[in-house]
Each structure stands twice: as structure tokens, then as C-alpha cells.
Structure 1
Amino acid sequence: MKKTLALCSLGLAMALPVSAADYEFDKAHTNIQFGVSHNGLSNFLGQFQDFSGQFDINEEDLTQSSFDVVIKTASVDTDVPALDDHLKNEDFFDVTKYPEMRFKSERIVQVAGDKYEVEGQLTMLDKTLPVTLDARLNFQGRHPLADFFPAYDTQYLGFSATTSIRRTAFGMMTYAPMLADQVNITLEAELKRTP
């Protein structure tokens, strides 16, 4: 009887889902960048400075995690103030009408080892389209500097991710095709578990 109860308890424990932990961006160590070919002369780079995210991380099986990232479009930063102003107007991000971009994950697939594909929906300029991130898990565990800096004494995730989108698919038509349609996006992120 005891053996039967033990087996039942074990089976129940294995059937219960592992609870997810809440994580957030360590913003000081996270960059959201974009690059676009500038008339074939160079690959022009920029980034967004204001963003946030909600991350439900299953620490035992990352494929069961989910996240929702919001980017403030007015935070676009190319190091060229006049260009930033142009990117904010109706020709590009139209930040007054569309102050946010959003990516919500729908499915995470472990491709091999530390390689993952993150499928989700990107909303920009009020249009939502499927986007897949190619991601690499760089680190998972207690922060390596936790013994030296108490602020780091929690669990961390570090990952790199890339994807490409066609801006015209979202309705951003200005200067196409002279200014390239393809926009390459790079995310270098560190996440920390919230208390």
C-alpha cells in the first residue's frame, strides 16, 4: 500500500507543471539595436533606449517560458538628432500616433543545445505580423558577480537574438527601395529574477 501511494505521489509530482519565475530586463546590460542598408553605402545602426518586458521563465524547461516586450518608439536613437526627429515623424515610426511597438512570444523551440527559435507576433504601426527570433542562451544561473556585488545576488539569464523584418510589410514605405526594406534586429539581453 505504501509503495502504491509513493508511486502515485511521484506520478502526481511529475505531472504538475513547474512554476514559472518572473524576470525583468537588467536594462543597464541590455541593448535593442537595428540596422538597415543606407542606399548600399553602409549598414546604418540605431537603437531604442526605453523598453520593458514581462518574462515568465520556466527555469527547468525554457521552451515553456513566455514573454511580452514593449518598446517606446520615441526612444529611437541613432546619435544623429536630426535623423532621430525624422524617424519619429509620420514618414517612419509616427510616434505620436503609435507610441509603442510590442513583441509577444507564442512558442519557443529548442533547436540544438543553446540554440532556440522564439516565434511570436510583432506589432508596429498598428499592424501585427509573425516574427521568429533566432536566439542563443549565453548564461543561466546565479550571477557570476553575486559574491562581489549584492545587487546581483539573484538568478540571471543572458541571451542574444536576431531577426529580420520587412518594414514595408508594416506600412513603413518611405524611401523604399533606395533605403532598404530589410531591417536587421539584434537583441543582447540580460534578465534578472524579480523578488
Structure 2
Amino acid sequence: MDFDAVILAGGRSSRLGGSPKSALMFDGATLLERSLAAAAGARHTVVVGPEAAGLPGGVLTSREDPPFAGPAAAIAAGLDALRGADPAGLVLVLACDMPRVGEAVRALFAALPGSGVDGVMAASSDGRLQPLAGFYSTAALERAVQAAAARNALVHGSVFALLASLDVQAVVVPAGSTDDVDTWDDAAALGVAVREQ
């Protein structure tokens, strides 16, 4: 099943003192490298955020406008970058701050056949949804972005509001696979650290 990937790597990391989440280390790789590995198999991959050094060849880059405008605006920027690359029918949307997200992506991909019309979104066993780990219909997501743009609701907009018009199935993913790093306490609990110089 063909898909593209949009990896969101453009937050301020304000609760981490500005240390970019994408450059934090887990199990010998940066969180961005782990997200790229989780998206392996994508026809095209876009990293939305500040210019990152050492990206694999062929990975596209983009930036939300204005910078730090939030994940809804970043999704729009990623889709815009894919538009010129013969986009696939599905797009994997991933935030780059989930060190074990590869497990979630595998579970989501396995659930795609027979899923809801517009895709699948990760959910924890207690029902907490994670919209920044999901496969979505590219066409449906494009329509949602266009509608949000028309309402001036992309900049600092809610991702749940962006996705509200999509028919998306929640898929329970392995425990801990969508745990994210927002604070240094989160990082310590997940075994995530700053790269040693």
C-alpha cells in the first residue's frame, strides 16, 4: 500500500529550554532518525521544521508559515511540499517526539485494510488519541487543510479540529509507542537524552 510521510519537527521545545526534540537521542539514534526509520517505505517523505543536517537523500524539507505556527500549519506545509511529487493516496503524519513510534506505525499500517474511509489514528489502551501518529487519505486531508485555511484556522490551530471532518478509525497501538517528550521529566522517563558532544 503506497503512502507518503510528513514528519513534524518544527516546535519550539519551550519546555525543554529550546533543545530541539528532533536532535535528542534514544537508543543510539536521534528522535528524527527514529521517525524517519518509522516512515521507511514511504514513497516521499517531508520533514517540516528548521533545516536539519544529515537528512537522507531524497527527503524533502518544508517549513510551516509562519515558523512555529503549530502542527496544523506544519501538516499543511508538508502536504504542499508533496503536491509537486506525485503524492500517494495515503499520508503518514508523525510528530518527531515519540521515540518508540515505529511500533505504533506498524500497528497502524496493519490496520489499514478495511479501516475507516479516511484512515487510522493511534490510540492508547485507555482511549487517548494521538492524531500525530496516523495514516490519512491524502485527498481528505487536503480538503480539510483547504477548509481550515479558508477559516484562518491553520496557524496555531487544533489538529483535532483539522481532522474533525475525516472518517478516521482509532487503532490501539502497543503500550508506550506514542509516549512523547515534552519535558525533561518525560525525557528521563523514556530514556531520551541530549546527544553527547
TMscore range, shorter length: under 0.3
| TM-score scaled by length of structure 1 | 0.26
Which one has a larger percent helix, Structure 1 or Structure 2? 2
* Greater Rg by CA: 1
Higher relative contact order (CA 8 A, sep 6+): 2
| TM-score scaled by length of structure 2 | 0.26
